[in-house]
Structure 1
Amino acid sequence: MAGEPSFFEIGVADPERGRAFYGALFGWTLEPGPSGRGFTIGTDGLPGGMHGGDEGASPYLFFRVDDIDAAIAKVRELGGTVQDIGEEGEEDPDSVARFGRFKLCRDDQGSSFGLHQPPGG
């Protein structure tokens, strides 16, 4: 099914400090992520991630889609925008195989949200 929340991402300035804070606050298990610059977040519910270099960021909520390319086209058709994630928009094949594909978007009023196509989708 498409449209339900499927992943969250927390941006922080210093991921090690974020790991200590959120791990202590919520009891989350934070393991090194595939890029080595952040963490995957283990929760009993929605899976998540944490990345650094993003001081003062708001958490990102990603919505599941079955076909991310079609969803990207629809966002643009409806007046929204899509930005690439990662270095120069390249998708890491190992990360895609493990976590799926992600895109950060803004709706036609500028509100942020994300699209997530899980692995195998």
Structure 2
Amino acid sequence: MPRDDFGLRCGPSLDGGLLELWLSFSSFASSSFSRLQADMVEENKLLYRKIRSKIPAGNRHAEVLDAYMAAQDDGVKFCQLQRDAGAGWETNPDGSMYPALYQECVFDLRKVQNKFLTDLLTMANW
């Protein structure tokens, strides 16, 4: 079977080049989302520490903020539902497009968390 400029097999069927190309893209996308969400996690931790430092000692809102952060970390596990649903409810869909779905879901959750923390820090600085 012929190969394209990237060394991937090309062909008309999904058993050949198109599937290989899709899996290569999916691996790249998964890796990209993974790096982006790791950066977002670090930024969110920094925002959390800044907000936490603004809350007076003994104030119950410190516990609420801690609970929020724990809930966000816990919520990541629900991204497995989206990934596994697309893989016929298999729990180990590596080598397919489905890990990218998981990484994108985690990134999206962290992005929402980042906006919430950024807005909260803005309000805390008023």
TM-score (norm 2): 0.25
Higher helix share: 2
TM-score (norm 1): 0.25
Q: Max radius of gyration: which structure?
A: 2
Greater RCO between the two (CA within 8 Å, min separation 6)? 2
